Amino acid sequence: MAQAYRAETANRGARSERSGSRLQRLRRSWRGDRGIWRRGLFLSLLAIVLALVMLLHAHIPNAVGNLGSLLETFLPWLGLGIPLLLLLGLARKSASALVAVLLPAAVWVNLFGGLVFDKSGSGGELTVVTHNVNAENADPEGTARQVAESGADVVALEELTQQALPTYERALAETYRYHSVEGTVGLWSKHPMTDTRPVDIKMGWTRALRATVTTPKGDVAVYVAHLPSVRVKADAGFTAGQRDNSAEALGIAIREEPVEKVVLLGDLNGTMNDRALSPVTSQLRSTQGAAGDGFGFSWPAGFPMARIDQIMVRDVEPEASWTLPSTGSDHLPLAARVAL
């Protein structure tokens, strides 16, 4: 065993020496390279442009194809350009490119670094869940069962169909004594609900509601909303006009809400970065940003790329926010625990 130990120690020493010698050779080759700062100027320019796009995204105009909103929907993914530029800078042996990459890296960390770490706490008296169940869901009963097993006190469902609604009502009846459905959205609660009514979000049919949920800690106004879908078309760009109008109407309803404590649950078809949702996002806090672990992407369920489903609050404190396992829908359910 002593011989094996000495042999392993010698091998580790040899590997360390070879690694050290490679680094030394790399440093010597770069030190003697007079073009190290002149090469890679184009990469440096790309790094600066990437930093400016992330830093000034709110100033990119929406006049042509809603380009600004489209960019903001997937804004965190621009960070993938940072390691790519770093590798290209190393391959080009360009000191200027490597230094320039620090700019977009700093901007990305400033914008999204706080989302990387777990900020969840252990407090909170009310657990809420929102889920776009998908009108084409082939297993509504299984989806309802998974939602009920989440332990939520309040559940919001979007994209309910007349055919599937009785299935959801039967599956959730044992867990949730109170519920209300308006159009294609519904709210289920373990606590009493009053003053339930549809909310006009300028669509021509009902895709939003509000209700007062009476908890042991007082009344909470709970909104459920499913804003219009958006599409990316070659001839029209990011078609989000109807969604933007609905967001403005929803924002007005929330602003006029007399109950102080507000929880918004739903599929907003947009992210917190999207300026078009500012009538809503300027009034409410995202539970994911305040108490989440990671980005909490919710769509598409198979490979989530954006958080277009939201749980947002006013005058209550987010304690934890997370995504639930995939159901038969193309969206992931979202959950949050809040302190009242």
The reported pLDDT for the residue numbered 35 is 76
User: Is residue 6 very low, low, confident or very high in pLDDT (cuts 50, 70, 90)?
Assistant: low
Residue scoring higher pLDDT (67 or 83): 83
End position of a domain, from candidates 54, 82, 113: 113
Residue scoring higher pLDDT (144 or 28): 144
Question: Domain tally for the chain?
Answer: 2
pLDDT surpasses 90 at 9? no
Q: How far is CA 236 from the centre of its chain?
A: 25
Q: Does 136 share its domain with 52?
A: no
Residue 26 lies in a domain: no
Task: Considering only CA atoms, give the Rg of the chain.
Answer: 25
- What is the mean pLDDT of the segment spanning 326-334? 97
Distance CA 54, CA 67 (A): 14
Q: Does 131 share its domain with 103?
A: no
CATH of the domain at 155: 3.60.10.10
Q: Does 240 share its domain with 303?
A: yes
Residue 287 lies in a domain: yes
The reported pLDDT for the residue numbered 25 is 65
Q: Does 108 share its domain with 138?
A: no
Sequence letter at residue 32: G
Of 281, 259, 263, 251, nearest to 224 (Cα)? 263
Question: How much is the mean pLDDT over the chain?
Answer: 91
User: Is residue 67 very low, low, confident or very high in pLDDT (cuts 50, 70, 90)?
Assistant: confident
End position of a domain, from candidates 82, 113, 144: 113
Strand 262-267 and strand 309-314: the pairing is: antiparallel
End position of a domain, from candidates 113, 140, 173: 113
Q: What is the token pair recorded at 277?
A: 């949702």
Residue 25 lies in a domain: no
Per residue in 202-233, pLDDT (tens digit) is 999 999 999 999 999 999 999 999 999 887 66
Q: Does 67 share its domain with 173?
A: no
| pTM, full prediction | 0.88
For a pLDDT cut of 90, what percent of the chain falls above it?
A: 81
Q: Does 46 share its domain with 131?
A: no
- What is the mean pLDDT of the segment spanning 57-69? 87
Q: What is the token pair recorded at 326?
A: 């995939």
Q: Does 224 share its domain with 79?
A: no
Containing structural domain, residue 71: 33-113
Q: Does 65 share its domain with 132?
A: no
Q: Does 254 share its domain with 151?
A: yes
The reported pLDDT for the residue numbered 239 is 64
Q: Does 132 share its domain with 88?
A: no
Q: Does 70 share its domain with 136?
A: no
Per residue in 158-177, pLDDT (tens digit) is 999 999 999 999 999 999 99
Per residue in 268-326, pLDDT (tens digit) is 999 999 999 999 999 999 999 999 999 999 999 999 999 999 999 999 999 999 999 99
Q: Does 301 share its domain with 268?
A: yes
